[in-house]
Amino acid sequence: MSGAWWINRIGRWRPGPVSRQRFRRSVVERSPDHGYIERDTDHQGKIHRLHAKENNMTSQTASTRLRIPLTAGLLAFLFFSVNAALADDHDDEHAEVDVAMATINGCEDDGIVGSALLHESASSEGIKQVEVYMLVRGLTDGDHAVHIHETAACEPCTAAGGHHDPGPHGKSTPDAPDFNHPFHMGDLINLNVEDGIGEMRTATNRITLSAGRLSIFDEDGSAFIIHTEKDTYCDHEDELEGGCAGGPRDACGIIRPMN
């Protein structure tokens, strides 16, 4: 079977006289990875890899479909790699939680899915800060309130309770603001959604992953709640009415320690 036949089969290309002369001197072989290689007999050692047009199109389509999961996976991998490197420098007996993740699902809409990554670090003075990265798809476009709620439960989403607020004067009520809002320990910035994709990056020193009074890993754990509307950060008594903190719950994700 001639090399020119394979080139025509792959790329729908019709060789001219010069090309025919060249390919009569070429040998086309099937490579172990199922591509095709042309070995030029006039120049030993020179190999040209010819990829099938259909394979290229399939690869591009798959890449587009997997872009969001791969992005989240890559970020998680980077965080875990850094965390693993840092962990090597500490005694295992004194290791504390400094990385956590949450898988986010819609409260009623199965089309809402996402993930969140949390990473704790400390300043030279010992002040702890938690970085939060969240990626979600399936929500309506616009801003959505995001809070860490006081119970690690999502079935139903109301089981997550009120906003995480364990401080000495903590007070929280499910789906209704109180005098601490927007200063609950679990209050975060809004998640902005465009074209069905929502991404949030923020940092807070109101919570910790490690043990302590502000830890989100208390006896009953914690969960993310994403609301239907945006948080208006109502902080005056005449604004403290239902809905100003985001209203109904669209999605929930239990936060789990990763180390």
List of domains in the chain? 3-62 (no CATH), 66-257 (2.60.40.200)
Q: How would you class 250 by CB atoms within 10 Å of its CB: exposed for 0-12, middle for 13-18, buried for 19 or more?
A: buried
Does residue 92 sit in helix, strand or coil? helix
**Cis previous bond, 166, omega within 30:** no
Q: Tens place of pLDDT for every residue, the chain, 259 residues?
A: 444 444 344 344 444 444 444 434 444 444 444 444 444 444 444 334 433 434 443 344 333 344 445 445 545 554 554 454 444 444 444 456 799 999 999 999 999 999 999 999 999 898 999 999 999 999 999 999 999 999 999 999 999 998 888 865 555 555 555 566 777 888 999 999 999 999 999 999 999 999 998 999 999 999 999 999 998 887 665 556 667 888 899 999 999 999 7
What tokens appear for 188 in the block? 């975060």
- Characterize the bridge pairing of strands 249-257 and 191-194: unpaired
What tokens appear for 236 in the block? 């005056």
At 220 the pLDDT is: 94
Kindly state the helix (H) or strand (E) to which residue 1 belongs, with its residue range. Answer: none
- pTM comes to 0.62
The Cα–Cα gap between 95 and 119 comes to 14
The Cα–Cα gap between 28 and 34 comes to 13
